[in-house]
Amino acid sequence: MRRVAAAAAALLVACGGGGSEEPANPLAAVAGTYTLRTAGGAALPVVVDQSESGSLEVDAETLTLEPGGTWARTTDARISVPASALPGGVAITPTTVTDGGAYTLAGSALTLTSGTSGVAAPATVSGGQITQTRFNKTFVYAR
């Protein structure tokens, strides 16, 4: 009888028990730091927004997803104002922009909600990449 009980115990351990384990955190699978690789199909640095009043050029950007459901983005960029808009000529201002907030995941659909503006921005996560449309361009991030 002891042998049967020992075999049953060994089988339960091998199969994972049957106890009440916590479900795995689905956010942990996508958590990590993603680096912007391309915007609009172009490698960085890339101009992502341009008008007669100036342009915004992204030099580098990282997007970090935490397993607890928060995110943070840091963008190193340059804002250029043309000579026609300034009495002294062209102005190029390097800047770092940060944002963050909460995110949700449903399958491959990722939604990043800004804690600053409250805007919910959709994205897609698949195979270590995040794809998001901003400034009418497709931004591709990779781990």
- Predicted confidence at residue 5, as pLDDT, reads 37
- Predicted confidence at residue 136, as pLDDT, reads 93
- Predicted confidence at residue 84, as pLDDT, reads 75
Structure pTM?
A: 0.79
Q: Is residue 112 a contact partner of residue 26, using CB atoms and an 8 Å limit? A: no
Q: What residue segments make up the domains of the chain, in order of their start?
A: 22-142
Q: If the chain, 143 residues long, is cut into consecutive pieces of 10 residues, what is the mean pLDDT of each piece?
A: 39 44 79 97 95 92 97 96 75 93 97 96 96 95 97
CATH of segment(s) 22-142: 2.40.128.300
User: Computed over its alpha carbons, how large is the radius of gyration of the chain?
Assistant: 23
